[in-house]
Amino acid sequence: MGTSRVAGKCWRKLQAREVEGLFTGRLRQLTEKLDVIGDIRGRGAMLAIELVAGSGDTTPNPALTAAVNVHCHSQGLVTLTAGTYGNVLRFLPPLAISDDLLLAILWGANSDSGLEFYAAVPRRAPSM
């Protein structure tokens, strides 16, 4: 009985690290396209992004966070808003999620454009 508990804990830690690696990598790619992502934070599978005004302005953006949250929910992606200013979007995917399903959720099942909420977020102007 004790062995199975220890094995279960080890599996959960390894799976959380794997989810973190996939998720964080994709979020970092998205920051190159969106200047409203002020920070990526978290450990394991419990990750969050901070949404700000953008264009160099780091003012918290709770209105955008709420809009993105609603959009995520409409697409079947469960998120939570958090933070002192209500501008943090939290993700906590199930540890049993497959890599393929996680990537489909992150990038959209039929496109490589970005997270499902990408449609609700203003784009960074192309640099010259």
Q: Which domains, ranges and CATH numbers included, belong to the chain? A: 2-120 (3.90.1150.10)
Residue 35: CB atoms within 10 Å: 18
Which of the two residues, 49 and 111, has the higher pLDDT score? 49
Contact 48, 88 (CB under 8 A): yes
CA-CA distance, 77 to 93, in Å (whole number)?
9
One-letter amino acid at 16 equals A
**Structural tokens at position 128:** 């010259």
Give the whole-angstrom CA distance, residue 38 versus residue 101.
26
Q: Please give the pLDDT value at position 95.
A: 73
| pLDDT classification of 112: cutoffs 50, 70, 90 | very low
110's tokens: 């039929």
pLDDT digits (tens, 9 = 90+) for 17-35: 888 888 888 888 888 888 8
Distance CA 71, CA 74 (A): 5
DSSP state for residue 57 in the 8-state scheme: E
Interval 92-105: pLDDT, tens: 777 777 777 776 76
- Residue-level pLDDT at 113: 45
pLDDT of residue 26: 81
